[in-house]
Amino acid sequence: MTDVSFVRTEMLPEQAPPPTAAGAIGWARQNLFSGWFNTLLTLASLAVVYYVLAAIVPWILSPTFSGTSLSQCREMLAAAGQEAGHGGGACWGVIRERWIQLMFGFYPNHLYWRPIAAFVLLAVALAPILFSDKVPAKLIWFSAAYPFIFPWLLWGGTVWGPLSAAGGFVIGFLVYRFVSQSMSELLGLIGGVLAALIWWLLLSGIAVSALDSILPLGLEPVESRKFGGFMLSITIGIVAIACSLPLGIVMALGRQSDLMIVKYLCVGFIEFIRGVPLITLLFVASTLLNIFMPPGTNFDIILRVLIMVTLFATAYMAEVIRGGLAALPKGQYEGADSLGLTYWQAQRLIIMPQALKISIPGIVSTFIGVFKDTTLVSIIGLLDPLGLSNAIRADANWNGIVWELYGFIALLFFVFCFGMSRYSMYLERKLQTGHR
């Protein structure tokens, strides 16, 4: 019998895949035209997209950027063969003329550098917190100092005010260290808080007045009523976000505490705040808080709003973090006990890092909701972007403008909220330790 077996001694060269199975054509066949039903849906979706873009793109690209009034915009659109209004072309002259006001409100023109510097420095201060592995570690000291620089740049006044506020934290920390080492950690915490409050409420004003009389250093003061636009929204949002997270952690831990008084105080606060609309709290901040203050007390309106928005966000943040704590298996707590860690050491090193990682989507969703809720301050007379849009439309030149202003405001809010959402996804990928 003849042996006809054959073994190839060389590899055949690779052949390119069929053109219909690779590249854009292959992706389209797999994802858009994989069957008759998907093909039908794809064609219908393309028709809808074309219809929407055919209506929106000409409206956006209207040649009215140089217009100085709605009537002039209509004349420019008529000359270009477009109809003014929602069905024709936009009047972008209002954005060109009023975008500064939408950004800064009625903040003095010659002091625009101060909010710009404050928000640029905000990015620097956030860098070591958001991207700790990509920036110098020593920059965290500037992040710690920034909460005192930020209000001083925006409101101005003597430099001794923020330094005195920072001094309260230093005094509280020193008292905490001394008492916790000589007595107990709980008494040290209580003593530190009381010492800081005594300094801020009773001694800080005297110290600031004395230092300012000896060495007057400061910036030109700016009244809160001149704040407005996105500067006001970002200020309220930043303060509420920065303060609600640590307060929410404290409230979540307090709600799970074995101390009955602490637990029920935290439960009462959380349930009350979550059961009341934010607009009600803002009305309380605007009208009722001054009734309970001593006669002649000047309680800044923005400070009142900041307190109420922060408390509102804290209640929701506490429930988000409590969900993260509840998601941890019991073995994590038992492991911390087996290592001989104290309660606060276990929370700092084992429990809270895992709970916060689990809670990242909920935390960022709360942040986004708080930032969008800053538009409610227009109800109590503060001129946020929506409040300013009403004032702009009251101008005879721009009476009738709606879509352009609201579209511009919506775009800026979307940029901020989308950025927070993207960072949330980046942080989840960075901290992912399990297997998918």
Please give the helix or strand (H or E) that residue 270 lies within, else none: helix 260-274
Task: Give the pairing type, strands 157-158 and 218-219.
Answer: antiparallel
Residue 47 clears pLDDT 70, i.e. is over it: yes
- Other CB atoms within a 10 A radius of the CB of residue 336 amount to 18
173: Cα within 13 Å, side-chain hemisphere:
5
For the chain, give the percent of residues with pLDDT over 90: 22
Average pLDDT over residues 206-224: 87
pTM listed for this prediction: 0.84
Q: Where are the domains of the chain?
A: 38-91, 99-107+226-436
pLDDT in tens, 389-425: 888 888 888 888 888 899 999 999 999 999 999 988 8
Burial label, 350 (beta-carbon count in 10 A; 0-12, 13-18, 19+): middle
pLDDT in tens, 301-331: 888 889 889 999 999 999 999 888 888 888 8
pLDDT in tens, 62-101: 888 888 888 888 888 888 766 555 456 888 989 999 899 9
pLDDT in tens, 262-315: 889 989 999 999 988 888 888 887 777 667 666 666 678 888 889 889 999 999
Reduce the DSSP state of residue 296 to 3 states and report it: coil
Which one-letter DSSP state was computed for residue 16? P
pLDDT in tens, 323-352: 888 888 888 877 887 888 877 788 888 888
Residue 138 clears pLDDT 60, i.e. is over it: yes
- Other CB atoms within a 10 A radius of the CB of residue 426 amount to 12
Residues in a beta bridge with 149: none
In angstroms, the CA 17 to CA 19 distance is 6
What Rg value do the Cα atoms of the chain yield, rounded? 29
Phi, psi for residue 90 in degrees, rounded to 5: -80, 160
pLDDT at 436: 47
Place of tokens 């038992």: 334
pLDDT at 3: 62
**Comparison of pLDDT for 116 and 10, the residue scoring more:** 116
In angstroms, the CA 281 to CA 190 distance is 29
Fold entry, domain 99-107+226-436: MetI-like fold (1.10.3720)
Residue among 417, 434, 436, 403 nearest 85 (CA)? 403
Residue type for position 295: P
* C-beta of residue 352 within 8 angstroms of C-beta of residue 397: no
Could you tell me the CA-to-CA distances from 62 to 59, 72, 321 in Å, in that order?
A: 6, 13, 48
Phi, psi for residue 89 in degrees, rounded to 5: -125, 155
* C-beta of residue 422 within 8 angstroms of C-beta of residue 115: no
